[in-house]
Homo-oligomer: A and B are copies of this chain.
């Protein structure tokens, strides 16, 4: 009764357990058996819900993209105009990454060998990309004379924000590098992203 034979919603419980393992012990500790153990279930039970390990990883990564989108949306809501919205989305991206580093690694790393085999994952990744490119497009539309290619601008923004996120996650950058003055991660990323954002306003000479 306290441990019914049927779990009820094991699929989601497994995804949740996997995310907990990522947060606690990192991506190196994420095995199918560990996930089953943490969900309190035999090690073969996951096979009722996922074809194999990679299918579970793909579901976890998809959940990660949903978290990323949530972080970006929350920050974007507070921004009045497209210019500040671009920065807000970027800060949200970095905020998600620093709070969920191992999820970020799974989302972008080589553990999921064949992403095309997981349409759900591709769909939600596209959604995140669309959010960024849409906001950049709005931003560029403000400025009739802007000559910046919107695709290049989107790729550049994404690169900047993604690189900053990973350098922070990998501890290559720490937030008190700026001349010994300690500033938070959010503030540092805001400054860095703002510097870049200005490039979008450039007009031809």
Instruction: Tell me the A residues contacting B by CB distance below 8 Å.
Output: 26-28, 105, 108-111, 115, 125, 148-149, 151-153, 155-156, 158-167, 170-173, 177-179, 188, 191-192, 195-196, 198-199, 202
Binding site of A, secondary structure by majority: helix, strand, loop or mixed?
Answer: helix
Residue of B nearest to A151 (CB): B178
Query: What's the least CB distance linking A191 to chain B, in Å?
Result: 6
Query: Could you say which residues of chain B place their CB within 8 Å of the CB of A108?
Result: 166-167, 170, 172
Listed by A's residue number, 20 A-B pairs whose Cβ atoms lie within 8 Å are A26-B110, A27-B110, A28-B110, A28-B111, A105-B109, A108-B167, A110-B170, A125-B172, A152-B195, A155-B167, A155-B177, A155-B188, A158-B173, A159-B160, A159-B164, A159-B167, A159-B192, A162-B166, A162-B167, A196-B199
Nearest chain B CB to A197 CB, angstrom units? 8
Query: Once the chains are docked, how many angstroms separate the CA of A179 from the CA of B179?
Result: 42
Contact status B159-A163, CB under 8 Å: yes
Nearest 3 pairs of A and B residues by beta carbon: A163-B163, A199-B199, A162-B163
A121 to chain B, nearest CB (A): 12
Known: A170-B109, A199-B198. A156 touches B192 (CB 8 A): yes
Contact between A156 and B152, CB atoms less than 8 A apart: no
Across the interface, which residues of B come within 8 angstroms of A195, CB to CB?
148, 152-153, 156, 199
In the bound complex, residues from chain B placing their C-beta under 8 Å from that of A192 are 152, 155-156, 159
Compute how far the CA of A161 lies from the CA of B115 in the bound complex, rounded to whole angstroms.
24
Given contacts A155-B192, A163-B165, 18 further A-B contacts (CB under 8 A): A28-B110, A28-B111, A105-B109, A108-B167, A108-B172, A115-B171, A125-B172, A151-B177, A153-B195, A155-B164, A155-B173, A155-B177, A158-B163, A159-B192, A160-B196, A163-B164, A166-B166, A199-B199
